[in-house]
Amino acid sequence: MKKKGSIMRSIAAAPHIFWAILFIVLPLIIVVYYAFTDGDGNFSFENITSLADYAPIFTLSVELAVIATFVCLIVGYPLAYIIAKARPERQRFYIMLLMLPMWTNLLIRTYSIMAILDDGGFLNTILGTTMHIVGTKGAVIFGMVYDFLPYMVLPIYTCISKIDKNMWEAASDLGCKPVQVMTRVIFPLSMSGIISGVTMVLVPSISTFYISQKLGGGTFELIGDTIERQFVTGALNTGAAISLVMMVLIIISLTVMNRFSDSDEGGIIV
Amino acid sequence: MKYFSKIYLVLIFGILYIPILTLILFSFNSANSTALFEGFSLRWYVELFNSPDTFEALRNTLILAVLSSLIATVIGTAAAEGIYKMRSKLLKGAITSVTNVPMMNPDIVTGMSMMLFFVAVAAILGVTYEDMGFFAMLIAHVTFCLPYVILSVLPRINELGDSLSEAALDLGCTPMQAFFKVKLPNIMPGVLSGMVMAFTMSLDDFVISYFVGSSNFQTLPLLIYSMTKKKVTPDMYALSTLIVVTIFILLIISNIKSGKKVDNSKKAGARK
Amino acid sequence: MAKLIELKGISKSFDGEKVLDSIDFYIRDGEFVTLLGPSGCGKTTMLRIIGGFETADEGSLYFDGAEISEVPAHKRHINTVFQKYALFPHLNVYENIAFPLRLKKVPEEDIKTKVAEMLSMVKLSGFENKSVSTLSGGQQQRVAIARALISHPKVILLDEPLGALDLKLRKDMQSELKSIQQAIGITFVYVTHDQEEALSMSDTIAVISEGEIQQIGTPTDIYNEPKNAFVADFIGESNIVDGIMLEDNRVKFSGHIFDCVDGGFDKNEPVDVVVRPEDVDVVPTDKGMLTGMVTSVTFKGVHYEIIVDIRGFKWMIQSTDYVAPEATIGLYIEPDAIHIMKKSKYSGMFGDYSSFSDEMDRLSDADTAEEF
């Protein structure tokens, strides 16, 4: 009787649980199934073992994504800090400015960068130069930073603006020089924001295919491109295998980062 | 320091906005170029409005966004209430982790998994993949919108606690009435912001739609993608400009509204 | 004792509202000084100016004889115990307390012994590795005190440090703070709105209202010889009535002429007369100097709190003897129980017990407003 009562309490969650099992869990199981079968449905490790061929692509994707995330952090942290310390009405304005590009479709944003940086593009036309930018690693990284910077700034901003105002005063009261206030107190306290910012930039950077298609000028292939190619050519088993590996890698790194921040201050990462 | 802050803000926001501003500029270009501005004209807007593809894609996108955000809001709000009442921490944790999967997972993996799922469903039902076009899209969009709704409603419910619903029950409400008459109005801001978030997520989604969608249900991002595959003409810029301007206006309106609310609460506080 | 901190003509405004109005005040070395006043009176701003978190608009601030208005907080030999403790959540108890020493690059061995010393002083030995967020309010308070004291500042500023604690714990912490202060002999500047706390802990109290210092003195001075109606009402309970000083040692109020021990006023000068509730004796009507009707009696444990209507003015009397409501009683007041104050801008605002709070007054105002 009591047990029934406790189930009834949460009955409102039932449609969602049903939905999640059917449309989240089941599709992931199907991915696993595809990853371990061949085209005829027979069990096979071949998809996974053949991934060794893609190792250079994995490495390149991780490299570019990590650099882009790092640049986002270096550029984004001061921005988040400046916004968080501005007057409240200014803060709202800056956050709006930051959100607007985010609400503009990613394809459009990426494409407009390409149109600017392209060999015969706006930048070269204005300057009268013939710089070759599109097709370099730098252009791809720039695209990632440009597209995902707001994802880094917003969680850090939220985190800094929630830090008790007394922390600044307490730190300088106890003898911190202005730089030490940042390094010893504020930076460690904004760690949870940094970690969720890093996650929110790293994940889409590592899996993007549009940015590399447009700004890579067809010179690079990243994991995202590979999955997309398998999808377009109908090689679903290999595509599923690559997706599975990528998912596992990301779950592992997120868990590690979560642990890291939990032990620090018990923040919840979104 | 103040100087540095100002310069830094101008610099970053400048870089952030230059591409968008160039895009707007070239949408008014009289020539068919995205690099050389030759004169002001509205020809790309005229061309855009004469294209039936654009309107169909726009209609599809809006229908999809409205339906998926509404469904996600209803299921998600109920789910948040259910999760709040759940006693078992283990179950709570399991459900929230599963819910967050589409948010944590790269879109490309979610897209891939749902596509494979619908391939299987089509095989079982004995229909072609194209037959499911709209429904597959709708289900996929609701699925990736759900976590955003739950994430914005659940904290509100936690914050509100039990005392209000208990007061309502004490005054004679049935549990249903207590939820709809007392709890829901109080968590409304969370529900609304969850819905808005879901709506924009759906509006903006390209990757998952690209994998799940089929040729007979085109949305705006899919249309843009297919347009950018070829050499782009400024009519896409015109389309993008319209989208940017619409969002800009919406943002300003919501900003002014929330700004007024802040002012009012300030005044109320000052009177005390 | 030498003046350690001195404020000269300090003024401060926020958004055009004057919070401090040319404050002159000094604090002696080794003193326990309390800034006492209702919320919004400017006491916290005064503390923050001393701590270096606000800069005064006008006036100068001296520390050990040197002007320090321009010295930033981290270079002042003054540490603060913040209202909500402001412990660093990313550091454990040990690291919080060690924080100021680490900045000074003190060798690890010294840090260890000093932190251990501090922990035992605040009775938290064994809590080194605990996370500060798991501590109770009282324990957090102790950590904050240890952290402020470890670098041996000359002054500790405490901003309502006990405000968040429950009553019993607060009393314990009061005596503990006082004994810590006496043991290490450094200056404490303490901000509170709780008059009982101020009376029991301080060497010197400064009563502040509306950005001005109303009175500076020892706890007994302030209680027994309040300077104006604000101080008399804020510190303890007081009946404050209008009176006329006929001549030295003779005052007339409530229709009766009393002997008293105060003098130095003009002939027939209007004055405020303070009588503490515990100094009034209840006697039979024929022996009373004043007579009145009892309007309410409340049992308070040690005594009864009796409200008596005397010529339309409600007096509060504390008596261990029970009297019946609506009885007519006589009141007897000894000459040394009567304290005479000069008229001030606070005259007539306090000291009538028709109601206890301003809010009740406002509510009854609303009633009358509706009636008319």
- Please report the DSSP string for B227-252 in residue order: HHHS---HHHHHHHHHHHHHHHHHHH
Q: Which chain C residue's Cα is nearest to A188?
A: C90
The angle formed by the CA atoms of residues A165, A171 and A174, to the nearest 5 degrees, is 135
What's the fold here for domain B52-223? MetI-like fold (1.10.3720)
Tokens 């405004």 sit on residue = C13
Taking the C-alpha atoms of residue C216 and residue C244, their distance in angstroms, rounded to an integer, is 26
* A19 neighbourhood in chain B, CB within 8 Å: 75, 142-143, 146
pLDDT band at A268 (very low <50, low <70, confident <90, very high): very low
Confirm or reject contact between A163 and chain C (CB < 8 A). Answer: no
- Residue C275, pLDDT score: 92
Contact assessment for residue C205 and residue C284, using Cβ atoms and an 8 Å cutoff? no
| CA-wise closest residue to A73 among A187, A177, A162 | A187
- Residue C369, pLDDT score: 45
| CA-wise closest residue to C201 among C149, C161, C150, C143 | C161
Average confidence score pLDDT of chain C = 89
Q: Which chain C residue's Cα is nearest to A178?
A: C74
Pick from B82, B142, B248: CB nearest A10: B82
Q: Which chain A residue's Cα is nearest to C97?
A: A174
| pLDDT for B268 beyond 70 | no
Residue A261: C-alpha distances to residues A183, A191, C94 (Å): 17, 7, 20
Residue A27: C-alpha distances to residues A144, A149, B109, B111, B112 (Å): 28, 31, 10, 10, 9
Residue C125 CB coordination number (10 Å): 12
pLDDT band at B272 (very low <50, low <70, confident <90, very high): very low
Contact between chain C and chain B (3 or more Cβ pairs less than 8 Å apart): no
**Is B112–A120 a contact, with Cβ atoms under 8 angstroms apart?**
no
| pLDDT for A254 beyond 70 | yes
- In this structure, what is the dihedral angle of CA atoms C198, C202, C203, C209, given to the nearest 10 degrees? -30
Q: Which chain C residue's Cα is nearest to A171?
A: C74
Q: Could you give the ipTM of this predicted complex?
A: 0.83
Pick from A175, A188, A264: CB nearest C100: A175
Number of helices followed by number of strands (H, E) in chain C: 9, 20
Pairing label, strands C290-299, C304-310: antiparallel
What tokens appear for A99 in the block?
């959100």
**Is A27–B106 a contact, with Cβ atoms under 8 angstroms apart?**
no
**CB contact set of C98 (below 8 Å; sequence gap of 6+):** C111, C115, C150
C27 forms beta bridges with C5
The upper half-sphere exposure of residue A45, i.e. CA atoms within 13 Å in the direction of its Cβ, equals: 2
Pick from A169, A170, A175: CB nearest C104: A175
Q: How far is B4 from chain A (nearest CA, A)?
A: 10
**Is A111–B236 a contact, with Cβ atoms under 8 angstroms apart?**
yes
Highest mean pLDDT: which range of A35-39, A212-216, B137-141: B137-141
* CATH of range A54-265; options 3.90.1150.10, 1.10.10.10, 1.10.3720.10, 3.10.20.580: 1.10.3720.10
| CA-wise closest residue to A242 among A16, A35, A5 | A35
**CB contact set of A116 (below 8 Å; sequence gap of 6+):** A122, A123, B18, B19, B22
Q: Which chain A residue's Cα is nearest to B79?
A: A13
Chains sharing 3 or more CB pairs under 8 A with chain B = A
**Is A104–B240 a contact, with Cβ atoms under 8 angstroms apart?**
yes
- Report pTM: 0.82
**Is A115–B34 a contact, with Cβ atoms under 8 angstroms apart?**
yes
Percent of chain B past pLDDT 70, that is, above it, reads: 92
- Residue A6, pLDDT score: 57
What tokens appear for C349 in the block?
């605002």
Chains sharing 3 or more CB pairs under 8 A with chain A = B, C
* B115 neighbourhood in chain A, CB within 8 Å: 231
Domain boundaries, chain A: 13-44, 54-265
Contact assessment for residue C175 and residue C18, using Cβ atoms and an 8 Å cutoff? no
* A12 neighbourhood in chain B, CB within 8 Å: 78-79, 81-82, 85
Taking the C-alpha atoms of residue C2 and residue C31, their distance in angstroms, rounded to an integer, is 10
| pLDDT for A133 beyond 70 | yes
Mutate to test the interface with A, among C88, C140, C154 (most CBs of A within 10 A): C88
pLDDT single digits (tens) B73-104: 999 999 999 999 888 888 888 888 888 888 88
Mutate to test the interface with B, among A71, A103, A110, A133 (most CBs of B within 10 A): A103
- Residue C206, pLDDT score: 95
In A188-217, the residues whose Cβ lies within 8 Å of chain C are 188-189, 191
Q: Which chain A residue's Cα is nearest to B228?
A: A111
**Is A27–B228 a contact, with Cβ atoms under 8 angstroms apart?**
no
DSSP, res C87: -
Taking the C-alpha atoms of residue A255 and residue A261, their distance in angstroms, rounded to an integer, is 10
* B225 neighbourhood in chain A, CB within 8 Å: 107, 210
- Second CATH level (architecture) for the domain C239-365: Beta Barrel (2.40)
Q: How far is A34 from chain C (nearest CA, A)?
A: 45
**Is A104–B95 a contact, with Cβ atoms under 8 angstroms apart?**
no
| pLDDT for B270 beyond 50 | no
pLDDT band at A262 (very low <50, low <70, confident <90, very high): low
**Is A207–B252 a contact, with Cβ atoms under 8 angstroms apart?**
no
**Is C74–A169 a contact, with Cβ atoms under 8 angstroms apart?**
no
pLDDT band at B197 (very low <50, low <70, confident <90, very high): confident
Taking the C-alpha atoms of residue B263 and residue B241, their distance in angstroms, rounded to an integer, is 32
* C90 neighbourhood in chain A, CB within 8 Å: 185, 188-189, 191, 264-265
Burial of residue B6 (CB within 10 Å: 0-12, 13-18, 19+) is: exposed
Homologous superfamily (CATH) of C3-224 is: P-loop containing nucleotide triphosphate hydrolases (3.40.50.300)
Confirm or reject contact between A173 and chain C (CB < 8 A). Answer: yes
Domain boundaries, chain B: 52-223
Pairing label, strands C256-259, C328-333: unpaired
Taking the C-alpha atoms of residue A24 and residue A152, their distance in angstroms, rounded to an integer, is 27
Contact assessment for residue A244 and residue A228, using Cβ atoms and an 8 Å cutoff? no
Chains sharing 3 or more CB pairs under 8 A with chain C = A
Confirm or reject contact between C265 and chain A (CB < 8 A). Answer: no
**Is A264–C72 a contact, with Cβ atoms under 8 angstroms apart?**
no
Pairing label, strands C17-28, C3-14: antiparallel
**Is C79–A176 a contact, with Cβ atoms under 8 angstroms apart?**
no
Torsions phi, psi of C60, nearest 5? Answer: -135, 155
Confirm or reject contact between C51 and chain A (CB < 8 A). Answer: yes
What tokens appear for A68 in the block?
């882009």
Contact assessment for residue A92 and residue B255, using Cβ atoms and an 8 Å cutoff? yes
- Residue A99, pLDDT score: 83
**CB contact set of A146 (below 8 Å; sequence gap of 6+):** A109, A113, B15, B16, B19
Residue C360 CB coordination number (10 Å): 11
The angle formed by the CA atoms of residues B113, A241 and A207, to the nearest 5 degrees, is 70
In C12-41, the residues whose Cβ lies within 8 Å of chain A are none
Q: How far is A268 from chain C (nearest CA, A)?
A: 14
Taking the C-alpha atoms of residue B244 and residue A171, their distance in angstroms, rounded to an integer, is 43
The angle formed by the CA atoms of residues B264, C20 and C30, to the nearest 5 degrees, is 125
Domain boundaries, chain C: 3-224, 239-365
Q: Which chain C residue's Cα is nearest to A264?
A: C90
Taking the C-alpha atoms of residue C272 and residue C341, their distance in angstroms, rounded to an integer, is 5
Taking the C-alpha atoms of residue A223 and residue A209, their distance in angstroms, rounded to an integer, is 8
Q: How far is B192 from chain A (nearest CA, A)?
A: 18
Q: Which chain A residue's Cα is nearest to C104?
A: A175
Q: How far is B33 from chain A (nearest CA, A)?
A: 9
B167 membership: H or E segment, kind and range: helix B163-170
- Positions in chain C whose pLDDT score sits under 70: 1, 356-372
- Residue A153, pLDDT score: 95
* A264 neighbourhood in chain C, CB within 8 Å: 90
| CA-wise closest residue to C154 among C4, C2, C1, C25 | C4
**Is A174–C53 a contact, with Cβ atoms under 8 angstroms apart?**
no
Tokens 């204005």 sit on residue = A126
Contact assessment for residue C251 and residue C273, using Cβ atoms and an 8 Å cutoff? yes
Pick from B95, B114, B244: CB nearest A17: B95
Please compute Rg for chain A using Cα positions.
23
| pLDDT for B146 beyond 70 | yes
Contact assessment for residue A201 and residue A148, using Cβ atoms and an 8 Å cutoff? yes
Mutate to test the interface with C, among A164, A166, A173 (most CBs of C within 10 A): A173
Taking the C-alpha atoms of residue A126 and residue C298, their distance in angstroms, rounded to an integer, is 88
Taking the C-alpha atoms of residue C71 and residue B49, their distance in angstroms, rounded to an integer, is 66
Q: How far is B44 from chain A (nearest CA, A)?
A: 16
What tokens appear for A46 in the block?
């071949």
Q: How far is B100 from chain A (nearest CA, A)?
A: 9
Number of inter-chain CB pairs under 8 A, A vs B = 218
Q: How far is A258 from chain B (nearest CA, A)?
A: 12
Average confidence score pLDDT of chain B = 85
Contact assessment for residue C59 and residue C8, using Cβ atoms and an 8 Å cutoff? yes
